[in-house]
RNA sequence: CGGCCCGUAGCUCAGUCGGUAGAGUCCUCGCCUGAUAAGCGGGAGGUCGGAGGUUCGAUCCCUCCUGGGCCGACCA
């Protein structure tokens, strides 16, 4: 590593661990550890350091963080562009979506961060360079709102009074307040990402690239000025985004129980519009009286039938929808009515009516004399479930009204400003807030007898997320990007993206693209990238879109390099003379901050002003990952801009993660405190465990995840479980290797990292399994399917610990039978190699533990290759390095199922596995299975503790056969006849079934059934110790001979002695002992058998053995009490006392 | 109101290209242990959200309903 880079780290730097705390042994004197080589020792010792007395995962992780920091491991990973052999690393391109820097990271960020860490780490290990630049979204309403409230400002008037320069300065100063905390949490999670070389959307260079992007769209004619009906918060004096509207106060509807907008009481007016061509009225309903002065049309559904009535009481003649009439009558709002006629809506279309209020009468006719406004129009959105079926139209104040107005060519009249105040065009109410004007408007209508009915209504209505005041909808001038013409290209390009999960791309995202609407990308705000449009104050059609800083300086006559910033305070004052003799001034709007994050692939590198070639080479991204909520957010804006600019997708692969909910299934809420503090979880169980926990869920496939074991889990118990199942097994395997290798003086050599010829099937088996595991993991990483990583890892850990190590345990403590022990060497080498490979393959997921293992197993032992001072610089293992033997893997599977069956039989019969039995009989009809059984005989003997494995292909004596139809096959073939055949199969006799089992066929209900058509089930015959699973049957011989009985007792004695050994010598598994036992009766008889004593000595590492009778003074009252230095055990009711002394004083 | 996802054991979730449902955890009983804040096994626990339809057969496919989540639209 370091030598080539000329750094000062000596090769022999050790990573060592003190019992309670963990630290790096950079400073040897401070380290003071037990097996650090002394000063001046440059070569590492070859044996492993002792395992720590206790495992402290968070402590271990902090030590690793120190190690990474000291060796600049992270920095080298982020920036190294060559491989150890000097060849260039190809780029794997990753884009990091910028979070708002105005809040602290939560679990959603930790999850996304873990995904964004795992994939790049994998590709790094595959020899790629992965640039990972952290990004910050600095602009937008969140920070503006924050600053506004901190400065005590309320609304746009306040901000403008305070001054945009000062306001923006406050935003700039405040926006990065949480970055240090973000950095701390991200690093603690083990995520490697470049904070030093980050990007910010408020950077001068970033903003200039945004201008360039916009300029490209402008040049292609994709930008236009239009109107859009937006929700406006009059209190804030600003339009709100849909996002902000959705953040508004919510309330559950008392009837439907559905969550929705906060409810509000509004006036409910039914208003009379007088037709000009008939002495009749059209009744229309509204809840917003303030929009009535701006009424320009009435809408009917062309296909709905309307009724013309005479109200008996008043004689008034009116039109409305009959169902609605009945509703008014049933509520007692209108009395008896006489039906005069029925007409379809289409018959009403075009008819003129008298303006309700006089303010806009001028729009009655166009200049050519044709009727313009105040007429009936057709609109299919009109419904008949509320109101009158005739809808009042004020095109400036409703989305639907606006659409109808556009379609009908109606004028757009908006006599209300953003603060909700009427202007002079409505002189009676000018200067009044619209909601306050409601009252006056109602009074006037009442006075003029234009009110049919007055009531109130309580309905859900959007409210401002900050002031809780009701929002107003009004048409505002905004800048749009044309997206609709791009739809086809958007959809096409989407097909080139690999989505995980697939359905998001095809479903949610695809549907969204197909219905994409033009993008309103301007905002009437302050702290954002300004739209680079200058416009003539005399001729509004003369506009100039500025593409770069240099162009602006040129236009404004400024010296190159004058401009240092592009925010409003720096450029709003810039102007120049226009062609029409006026002045070119900047329009006031800033960009939607989604436009900025969508420009990130270009803007983070100041494209095209810098690094032009580099950026073009690195488009599109290989990989991005964000939450499902970004479907319409970042994913969309990236895709739209990339399609518009380059007609290709912005990213090739994307992982979409689901939302993390609290354990109770609700949203995580600081207020409710319904989730554990992430920092606490990390400090209790470690980041590795949290990463594994987060990844081990369908949340990496876009589905929601409940964080926690149950609703009471506020401490992160769920993560503790992950420690136990996913972290400890690997740790334990490591601990085993180190414990015995140290006891044995075994140390790995360079050859142990590579393939070697292996004699022992157990070694060949685990090697093959490791290969399968690596193949499996590689596939998952390569396809961005992260949810199977941990399950696959758990399976290999089970195989490793509960079969390979368990079965092979004795190989490691076998004493040298003089000379080299080849099998033992291979056992160690295989164990070592498997551990190294497994930990490397999991390094992207468990970066800390695998680093620790790498340091201990490879670096400490001097086996690390060039640049391999961190596991994360190692090559990802390939399956080809591990000799695969599928047959062997199947052999072991068979053996393990026999063992499982046997153990369950012992359980049933209450015969502990310590007691040896004479034989197990295993029956299978399959010659292949029998062959596998023969190969797995040793395992079965050992695990089931039997003396003999008998195999047979005849289970006649053991089980009764039954027959079931193979539904899958027979269903298709027989159809309705299946039921009869099934019934007949039940009634078959043993003889017939035996013949069939031997390879015959069955004739049932006229159907000939072959071997595949019928499934045989085996039921143990009563009274036998037999178990059956599938085609496999086993029987235990439970007859216990005298020899078996004595051997069983001997093993009981051994297992009574071992805990004493462990108690006395907890840290030395190879301690030799002197053994003394006191015993009488049957146990003593056992202990007089030389071969059993020899067995006991070998098992307990006893160099001497002495059997004594109980001294009489131990049992003065009939019960035995032994001195304190002895242990007393009871085996089959007989007491035995045990004394252990070390061979040499410990 | 629309789009997408989800509803399976007390809890967290697999799964089934349609053939009679499985893991982990909890509870309980037992076994095993010269690595293990261990390991293994037995038991208990489910009309696979509801109702129709297609089919010999539906937890799986279709329709409707219902509950939850996300995104979006609307509320005259």
Given a cut of 60, whether residue A6 has pLDDT beyond it is no
- Contact status, residue A824 vs residue A812, Cβ threshold 8 Å: yes
Given a cut of 80, whether residue A904 has pLDDT beyond it is no
Q: What is the share, in percent, of chain A residues with pLDDT greater than 70?
A: 90
pLDDT of residue A43: 38
3-state secondary structure A712-781: CCCCCHHHHHHHHHHHHHHHHHHHHHHHHHHHHCCCCCHHHHCCCCCCCHHHHHHHHHHHHHHHHHHHHH
A608 CB-to-strand B distance under 7 Å = no
pLDDT of residue A814: 67
Banded model confidence at residue A255, pLDDT cuts 50, 70, 90: low
- Contact status, residue A697 vs residue A787, Cβ threshold 8 Å: yes
Secondary structure E strands in A215-262 = 223-233, 238-239, 250-252, 259-261
A435 labelled catalytic:
no
In angstroms, what CA-CA distances link A883 with A750, A763, A875, A876? Answer: 18, 11, 18, 17
Given a cut of 80, whether residue A1146 has pLDDT beyond it is no
Calpha distance A363→A412 (Å, rounded): 10
Contacts of A1069 (CB under 8 A, 6+ apart): A739, A740, A743, A813
Given a cut of 70, whether residue A1036 has pLDDT beyond it is yes
CA angle at residue A778 from A776 to A779, to 5 degrees? Answer: 65
Sign of the alpha-carbon dihedral angle for A827, A830, A832, A835: negative
A218 labelled catalytic:
no
Nearest to A266 by CA among A386, A389, A104: A386
Through-space separation of residue A56 CA and nucleotide B37 C1' in angstroms: 10
Averaged pLDDT, A948-976? 78
Banded model confidence at residue A187, pLDDT cuts 50, 70, 90: very high
Through-space separation of residue A295 CA and nucleotide B74 C1' in angstroms: 20
Calpha distance A1003→A1009 (Å, rounded): 6
Averaged pLDDT, A1092-1116? 79
pLDDT of residue A854: 93
Place of tokens 């067995």: A1095
- Contact status, residue A438 vs residue A267, Cβ threshold 8 Å: yes
- Contact status, residue A199 vs residue A176, Cβ threshold 8 Å: no
Within 10 Å of residue A801's Cβ, how many Cβ atoms?
16
Average pLDDT taken over every residue of chain A: 82
Calpha distance A1128→A1122 (Å, rounded): 7
Contacts of A275 (CB under 8 A, 6+ apart): A281, A282, A351, A352, A353, A354
**Both structure tokens of A579:** 């062609």
Averaged pLDDT, A261-270? 75
Most confident of A104-118, A207-221, A511-525, A1039-1053: A207-221
A667 labelled catalytic:
yes
Nearest to A1136 by CA among A1042, A1064, A1074, A1050: A1050
From residues 62-121 of A, which are strand B contacts by CB within 7 A? Answer: none
Place of tokens 């406050």: A170
In angstroms, what CA-CA distances link A868 with A48, A824, A839, A847? Answer: 18, 28, 14, 15
Residue A1028 DSSP SS3: strand
Tell which wins on pLDDT, A820 or A653: A653
Determine which helix (DSSP H) or strand (DSSP E) holds A16, and give its type and residue range. strand A14-17
pLDDT of residue A609: 94
Of all protein residues, which has its CA closest to the C1' atom of B75?
A: A461
Residue A1075 DSSP SS3: strand
> Which nucleotide's C1' is closest to A814 (Cα)?
B34
> Which nucleotide's C1' is closest to A1055 (Cα)?
B33
Through-space separation of residue A662 CA and nucleotide B11 C1' in angstroms: 14
pLDDT of residue A709: 65
- Contact status, residue A500 vs residue A653, Cβ threshold 8 Å: yes
Averaged pLDDT, A433-441? 82
Calpha distance A1108→A718 (Å, rounded): 52
Given a cut of 60, whether residue A15 has pLDDT beyond it is no
Residue A901 DSSP SS3: helix
From residues 508-527 of A, which are strand B contacts by CB within 7 A? Answer: 508, 511-512
Within 10 Å of residue A587's Cβ, how many Cβ atoms?
18
* Bridge partner list, A813: none
Calpha distance A364→A1087 (Å, rounded): 118
Place of tokens 């090559």: A875
Single out the catalytic residue among A117, A137, A203, A1013. A137
- Contact status, residue A758 vs residue A764, Cβ threshold 8 Å: yes
**Both structure tokens of A802:** 């509960």
Tell which wins on pLDDT, A533 or A987: A533
From residues 542-571 of A, which are strand B contacts by CB within 7 A? Answer: none
Calpha distance A969→A954 (Å, rounded): 27
> Is ipTM over 0.90?
no
**Both structure tokens of A1026:** 């037999």
A897 CB-to-strand B distance under 7 Å = no
Calpha distance A553→A1031 (Å, rounded): 85
pLDDT of residue A269: 82
Most confident of A666-675, A685-694, A1134-1143: A685-694
DSSP code string of A164-178: HHHHHHHHHHHTTTT
- Contact status, residue A172 vs residue A143, Cβ threshold 8 Å: no
A903 CB-to-strand B distance under 7 Å = yes
In angstroms, what CA-CA distances link A457 with A263, A268, A394, A732? Answer: 10, 6, 20, 68
A731 labelled catalytic:
no
Through-space separation of residue A471 CA and nucleotide B76 C1' in angstroms: 15
From residues 950-969 of A, which are strand B contacts by CB within 7 A? Answer: 967-968
A423 labelled catalytic:
no
A137 labelled catalytic:
yes
A391 CB-to-strand B distance under 7 Å = yes
In angstroms, what CA-CA distances link A403 with A297, A393, A397, A435, A852? Answer: 12, 10, 11, 24, 64
Averaged pLDDT, A776-785? 89
Given a cut of 80, whether residue A817 has pLDDT beyond it is no
- Contact status, residue A483 vs residue A640, Cβ threshold 8 Å: yes
Calpha distance A956→A234 (Å, rounded): 88
Place of tokens 């790096």: A24
DSSP code string of A302-355: TTSEEEEEEETTT--EEEE-HHHHHHHHHTTSS--EEEEEEEEHHHHTT-BB--
Span A709-751, pLDDT tens digits: 665 566 677 788 888 888 888 888 898 898 888 888 888 889 9
Single out the catalytic residue among A667, A673, A964, A979. A667
Given a cut of 60, whether residue A948 has pLDDT beyond it is yes
- Contact status, residue A496 vs residue A649, Cβ threshold 8 Å: yes
pLDDT of residue A13: 31
Least confident of A67-76, A154-163, A494-503, A686-695: A154-163
Given a cut of 60, whether residue A14 has pLDDT beyond it is no
From residues 915-954 of A, which are strand B contacts by CB within 7 A? Answer: 915
Through-space separation of residue A428 CA and nucleotide B49 C1' in angstroms: 59
Given a cut of 50, whether residue A37 has pLDDT beyond it is no
Strand B, nucleotides < 7 Å from a protein CB: these are: 3-6, 10-14, 18-20, 24-25, 30-42, 55-57, 67-76
Calpha distance A555→A634 (Å, rounded): 33
A263 CB-to-strand B distance under 7 Å = no
Within 10 Å of residue A72's Cβ, how many Cβ atoms?
16
Tell which wins on pLDDT, A611 or A674: A611
Place of tokens 């234009």: A450
Least confident of A682-696, A756-770, A850-864, A899-913: A899-913
A869 labelled catalytic:
no
Calpha distance A1064→A1053 (Å, rounded): 17
A383 CB-to-strand B distance under 7 Å = yes
**Both structure tokens of A662:** 């609290």
Nearest to A1091 by CA among A1137, A1049, A1047: A1047
Given a cut of 80, whether residue A487 has pLDDT beyond it is yes
pLDDT of residue A371: 83
Span A846-903, pLDDT tens digits: 999 999 999 999 998 888 888 899 999 999 999 999 998 888 888 888 888 888 888 8
Least confident of A427-431, A838-842, A1006-1010: A1006-1010
**Both structure tokens of A812:** 């490691």
Calpha distance A449→A272 (Å, rounded): 8
Banded model confidence at residue A671, pLDDT cuts 50, 70, 90: low
Residue A279 DSSP SS3: coil
Averaged pLDDT, A457-468? 72
pLDDT of residue A943: 84
* Cis before A995 (ω within 30): no
């Amino acid at each position: 590593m370091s030598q080539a880079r000329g750094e000062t780290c000596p090769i022999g730097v050790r990573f060592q661990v003190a019992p309670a705390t963990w630290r790096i042994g950079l400073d040897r004197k401070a380290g003071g550890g037990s097996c650090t080589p002394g000063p001046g020792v440059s070569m590492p010792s070859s044996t492993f350091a002792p395992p720590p007395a206790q495992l402290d995962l968070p402590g271990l992780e902090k030590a690793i963080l120190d190690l990474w920091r000291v060796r600049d491991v992270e920095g080298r990973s982020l920036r190294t562009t060559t491989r150890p052999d000097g060849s260039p690393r190809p780029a794997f391109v990753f884009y990091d979506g910028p979070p708002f820097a105005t809040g602290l990271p939560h679990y959603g960020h930790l999850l996304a961060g873990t995904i964004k860490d795992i994939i790049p780490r994998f590709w790094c290990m595959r020899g790629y360079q992965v640039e990972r630049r952290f990004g910050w979204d600095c602009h937008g309403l969140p920070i503006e709102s924050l600053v506004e409230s901190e400065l005590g400002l309320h609304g746009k008037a306040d901000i403008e009074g305070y001054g945009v320069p000062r306001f923006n300065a406050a935003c700039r100063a405040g926006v990065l307040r949480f970055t240090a905390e973000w950095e701390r949490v991200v690093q603690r999670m083990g995520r490697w990402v470049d904070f030093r070389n980050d990007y910010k959307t408020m950077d001068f260079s970033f903003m200039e690239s945004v201008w360039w992007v916009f300029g490209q769209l402008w040049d292609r004619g994709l930008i236009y000025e239009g109107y859009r009906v937006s929700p406006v918060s009059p209190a804030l004096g600003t339009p709100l985004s849909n996002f902000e509207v959705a953040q508004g106060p919510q309330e559950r509807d008392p009837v439907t129980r559905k969550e929705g907008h906060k409810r509000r009481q509004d006036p409910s007016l039914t208003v009379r519009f007088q037709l000009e061509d008939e002495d009749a009225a059209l009744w229309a309903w509204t809840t917003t009286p303030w929009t009535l002065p701006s009424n320009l049309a009435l809408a009917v559904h062309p296909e709905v039938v309307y009724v013309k009535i005479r109200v008996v009481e008043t004689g008034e003649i009116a039109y409305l929808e009959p169902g609605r009439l009945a509703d008014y009558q049933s509520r007692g709002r209108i009395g008896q009515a006489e039906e005069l006629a029925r007409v379809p809506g289409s018959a009403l279309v075009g008819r003129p009516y008298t303006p309700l209020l006089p303010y806009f009468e001028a729009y009655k006719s166009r200049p050519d004399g044709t009727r313009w406004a105040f007429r009936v129009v057709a609109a299919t959105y009109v419904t008949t479930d509320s109101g009158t079926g005739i809808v009042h139209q004020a095109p400036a104040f409703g989305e639907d009204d606006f659409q109808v107005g556009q379609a009908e060519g109606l004028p757009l009249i908006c006599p209300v400003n953003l603060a909700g105040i009427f202007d002079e065009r409505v002189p009676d109410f000018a200067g009044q807030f619209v909601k306050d004007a409601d009252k006056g408007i109602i009074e006037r209508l009442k006075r003029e007898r234009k009110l049919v009915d007055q009531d109130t209504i309580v309905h859900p209505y959007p409210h401002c997320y900050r002031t809780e005041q009701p929002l107003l909808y009004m048409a505002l001038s905004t800048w749009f990007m044309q997206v609709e013409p791009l739809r086809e290209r958007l959809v096409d390009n989407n097909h080139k993206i690999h989505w995980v999960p697939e359905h998001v791309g095809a479903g949610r995202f695809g549907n969204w693209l197909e219905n994409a609407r033009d993008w309103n990308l301007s905002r009437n705000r302050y702290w954002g990238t300004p739209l680079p449009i200058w416009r003539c104050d005399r001729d509004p059609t003369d506009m100039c879109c500025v593409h770069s800083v240099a162009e602006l300086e040129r236009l404004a006559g400024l010296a190159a390099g004058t401009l240092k910033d592009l925010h409003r305070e720096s450029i709003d004052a810039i102007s120049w003379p226009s062609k029409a003799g006026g002045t070119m001034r900047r329009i006031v709007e800033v960009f939607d901050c989604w436009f900025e994050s969508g420009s990130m692939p270009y803007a983070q590198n100041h494209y095209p002003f810098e690094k032009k070639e580099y950026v073009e080479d690195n488009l599109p991204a290989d990989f991005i990952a964000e939450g499902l909520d970004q479907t319409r957010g970042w994913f969309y804006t990236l895709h739209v801009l990339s399609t518009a600019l380059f007609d290709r997708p912005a990213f090739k692969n994307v992982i979409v993660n689901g939302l993390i909910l609290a354990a109770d299934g609700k949203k995580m809420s600081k207020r409710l405190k319904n989730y554990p503090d992430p920092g606490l979880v990390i400090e209790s169980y470690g980041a590795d465990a949290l990463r594994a926990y987060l990844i081990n869920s369908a949340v990496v496939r876009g589905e929601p995840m409940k964080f926690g074991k149950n609703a009471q889990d506020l401490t992160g118990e769920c993560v503790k479980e992950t420690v136990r199942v996913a972290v400890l097994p690997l740790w334990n395997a490591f601990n085993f290797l180190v414990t015995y290798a140290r006891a044995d003086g075994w140390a790995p050599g360079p050859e142990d990292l590579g393939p070697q010829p292996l004699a022992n099937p157990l070694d060949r088996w685990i090697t093959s399994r490791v290969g399968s595991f690596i193949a499996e993991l590689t596939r998952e990483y390569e396809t961005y399917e992260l949810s199977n990583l941990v399950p696959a890892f758990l399976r290999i850990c089970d195989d490793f610990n509960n079969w390979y190590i368990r079965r092979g345990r004795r190989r490691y403590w076998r004493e040298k039978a003089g000379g080299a022990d080849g099998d033992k060497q291979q056992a160690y080498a295989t164990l070592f190699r498997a551990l190294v490979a497994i930990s490397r393959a999991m390094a992207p997921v468990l970066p800390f533990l695998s680093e620790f293992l790498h340091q201990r197993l490879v670096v400490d032992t001097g086996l690390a290759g060039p640049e391999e001072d961190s596991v994360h610089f190692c090559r990802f293992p390939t399956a080809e390095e591990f000799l695969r033997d599928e047959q062997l893997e199947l052999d072991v599977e068979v053996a393990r199922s026999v063992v499982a069956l046997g153990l369950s039989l012992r359980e049933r019969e209450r015969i502990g596995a310590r007691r040896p039995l004479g034989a197990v009989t295993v029956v299978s009809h399959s010659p292949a299975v029998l062959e596998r059984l023969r190969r797995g005989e040793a395992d079965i003997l050992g695990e089931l503790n039997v003396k003999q494995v008998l195999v047979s292909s005849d289970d006649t004596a053991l089980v009764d056969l039954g027959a079931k139809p193979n539904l899958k096959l027979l269903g298709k073939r027989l159809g309705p006849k299946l039921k009869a055949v099934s019934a007949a199969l039940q009634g078959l006799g043993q003889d017939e079934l035996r013949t069939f089992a031997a390879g015959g066929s069955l004739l049932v209900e006229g159907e000939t059934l072959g071997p595949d058509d019928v499934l045989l089930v085996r039921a143990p015959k009563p009274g036998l110790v037999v178990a059956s699973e599938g085609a496999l049957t086993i029987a235990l011989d439970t007859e216990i001979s005298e020899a078996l009985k004595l051997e069983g007792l001997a093993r009981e004695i051994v297992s009574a002695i071992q805990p004493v050994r462990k108690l006395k010598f907890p840290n030395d598994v190879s301690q030799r002992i002197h053994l003394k036992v006191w015993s009488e009766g049957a146990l003593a008889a056992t202990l007089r058998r030389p071969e059993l004593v020899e067995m006991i000595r070998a098992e307990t590492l006893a160099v001497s053995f002495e059997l004594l009778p109980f001294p009489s003074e131990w049992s003065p009252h009939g019960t035995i009490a032994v001195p304190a230095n002895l242990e007393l055990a009871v085996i089959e009711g007989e007491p035995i006392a045990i004394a252990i002394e070390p061979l040499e004083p410990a």
